[in-house]
Amino acid sequence: MKRVVVTGLGAITPLGNTVESFWQQILAGKSGVGPITKFDASKFKTQFASEVKDFNAETFLDKKEIKKYDVFTQYAIASSDQAITDSGLDFSTMTDDQLAEVGVIWATGNGGIGTFEAQLEEFHAGDGTPRFSPFFIPKMIVDIAAGVISIRHRLRGPNYCTVSACASSNTAIINAFDTIRLGKAAIMIAGGSEAAITKSSVGGFNAAQALSKNNDDPQGASRPFDVDRDGFVMGEGAGALILEELEHAVSRGAHIYAEIVGGGMAGDAYHLTGTPPDGVGAGLGMTSALKDAGIAADQIDYINAHATSTGLGDLSELQAINRVFKDLPVVIGATKSMTGHLLGAAGAIESVISILAIRDGIIPPTINTKNLDENIPKGLNIVLGEPIKKEINYVLNNTFGFGGHTASTIFKKYKA
């Protein structure tokens, strides 16, 4: 099968709206969390989130377009445009046949939930007469970001959306990887976006007992593996990758960040929202990714853990890691401690982090974790507090979602 490399990156995040500004904040151990500004959260159990800041859609969309697109689609356009520019690709110079070799697989967990919520509020505030915007459905549906990216650049290759809750964008990246290595496309734009800091979303996750309620210390609320963790912190944003068939990338002299070499997916088959204590699905997904990459567990240098800061979830994942990587010196980190949990976009933005860790030979810290849970398996090497300089040849990136979905990707330092 064909080899697949990463030639472009894009990021819209709570810690910066370019890849490099985001990366520098991550290495500095900064938190993107603060009080919710998108609505009045004073009556909610959780009153903070990790919001994107200083985002101006008018820098890349005209006002008519902005009205057509939910914020999750705006984030998708911004991050994918960044990645395309970063890759050096110019789709305007390509023939129709060449554009048929370029596709988009874009992920989201919640899609246009803000649009859905606002439209229903407007309807219920009226006299019952159904006055709905003609843009309501195309703004709301989860596949629309993939479609808009395709339309924007006249890309006629495979085009669809993946939805597997918080595993969605890792699933998109794996599917894009498979599409190229099977010869069904030469270039794929893959990633995910989320804009779910809304009343219904925060209220719903509160009802499910999933969110941290540490309103007194929002920036310290996301504390993976800590004995006092009390739930995840809602985040938003987008991450984008340009995946490209190796020979195609080399022939045009593209800068290559890394190679993607493996992807594994599995199911917990356990519970609607909970994870099994032994992390069976997570273990199967990681093992599948290793097999797909054709490498042994001892070749992985860094695991970017899913690690949302939930009581059962963190322990479940670490039990799975312990089973697959037992007694190996692999370093485990949890960058959601800084970004919050970007839900369906988490896998994409954490893939960006994983790739930059390979590029710069540095593992980002896990912040806020003061007292490790005593139930964590002994001997695991969790990076806390400060980044670690280390040559990194292979990174494993984990994502897991409600419904028992698990997806793990493996990136490798590129060698010609």
Give the domain ranges of the chain: 4-251, 263-412
pLDDT at 153: 98
Q: Which of these is catalytic: 6, 118, 144, 166?
A: 166
Tell me the average pLDDT across 57-84. 96
When pLDDT is averaged across residues 78-87 and rounded to a whole number, the result is 98
Task: Report pLDDT for 128.
Answer: 86
Residue range 370-386: mean pLDDT, rounded: 95
163: tokens are 């939805």
Contact 382, 333 (CB under 8 A): yes
Among candidate residues 225, 361, 382, 226, the one with its CA nearest the CA of residue 303 = 382
pLDDT band at 401 (very low <50, low <70, confident <90, very high): very high
- What confidence tens digit (pLDDT) does each residue in 181-201 have? 999 999 999 999 999 999 999
pLDDT band at 327 (very low <50, low <70, confident <90, very high): confident
68 pLDDT higher than 90: yes
Residue-level pLDDT at 245? 98
- Other CB atoms within a 10 A radius of the CB of residue 25 amount to 19
- pLDDT value, residue 242: 99
Predicted confidence at residue 45, as pLDDT, reads 98
Query: What pLDDT, on a 0 to 100 scale, did the predictor assign at position 318?
Result: 98
Helix (H) or strand (E) holding 412: strand 405-412
Backbone φ and ψ of 415, nearest 5° = -130, 125
Q: Are 400 and 166 a contacting pair, CB within 8 Å?
A: yes
What local confidence, expressed as pLDDT, does residue 127 receive? 87
CA distance 413 to 416: 10
The DSSP call for residue 52 is -
Alpha helices by DSSP H, 361-394: none
Write down the pLDDT at residue 364.
98
What region, left, alpha or beta, does residue 276 occupy, with left being phi > 0 and alpha being psi -120 to 50 degrees? beta
Instruction: Indicate the length of the chain as a whole number.
Output: 416
Mean pLDDT to the nearest integer, 256-269: 97
Residue the block writes with tokens 């009226």: 126
At residue 220 the predicted structure's pLDDT band, cuts being 50, 70 and 90, is very high
173 pLDDT above the threshold of 90: yes
CATH of 4-251 given 3.40.47.10, 3.20.20.70, 1.25.40.10, 3.40.605.10: 3.40.47.10
**Cβ-contact 326, 18 below 8 angstroms:** no
pLDDT at residue 283, rounded to an integer? 98
pLDDT band, residue 416 (cuts 50/70/90): confident
Q: Contact at 8 Å (CB) between 354 and 334?
A: no
For Cα atoms 213, 378, 262, give the angle at the middle one, nearest 5 degrees: 80
The CATH-assigned architecture of domain 263-412 is 3-Layer(aba) Sandwich (3.40)
Q: What is the pLDDT of residue 224?
A: 98
Mean pLDDT of 327-346: 97
The reported pTM is: 0.97
CB 140 within 8 A of CB 111: yes
Q: In the numeric block, which tokens belong to residue 106? A: 């874009």
Residue 166 annotated to the active site = yes
With contact defined as beta carbons under 8 Å apart, do 321 and 314 qualify?
no
Contact 224, 334 (CB under 8 A): yes
Q: How confident is the model at residue 149 (pLDDT cuts 50, 70, 90)?
A: very high
The amino acid occupying position 324 is V
Q: Tokens at residue 361, please?
A: 């030979």
Least confident of 75-79, 247-251, 276-280: 276-280
* Range 21-43 average pLDDT: 98
For 32, phi then psi, to 5°, come to -95, 10
Exposed, middle or buried by CB within 10 Å (0-12, 13-18, 19+), for 262?
buried
- Are 4-251 and 263-412 in the same CATH fold? yes
Helix (H, G, I), strand (E, B) or coil at 161: strand
Residue percentage of the chain with pLDDT more than 70: 100
Q: Average model confidence (pLDDT) for the chain?
A: 97
pLDDT value at position 297? 98
